[in-house]
Amino acid sequence: MKTTLQAIVLEARELFRDRGYDGMSMADLAARVGLKKASLYTRFPSKESLVGEVLTLTLDETFEGLAET
């Protein structure tokens, strides 16, 4: 099964929620999504690079379905 970028971002968000930014590691995320750490780094070069993606996903979900004015 191919791990999608969205699946990685979703799992990263859960780890950030559970463990906080400092408590989450790329190794934890790689294990959780079934990738080797090196493969994860080809998609996201650092933990910092995940933050914007997590925030974008969360904002998109928050505003999804709201009526446009």
pLDDT in tens, 19-45: 999 999 999 999 999 999 999 999 999
Distance (Å, rounded) from C-alpha 19 to C-alpha 43? 22
Radius of gyration of the chain (CA): 13
- pLDDT for 1 beyond 90: no
CATH 1.10.10.60 describes domain 5-53: yes
* Prediction pTM value: 0.86
Domain boundaries, the chain: 5-53
Q: pLDDT band at 66, cuts 50/70/90?
A: confident
Which pLDDT value is given to residue 29?
97
**Under 8 Å CB-to-CB from 33, ≥6 apart: which residues?**
3, 7, 8, 11, 40
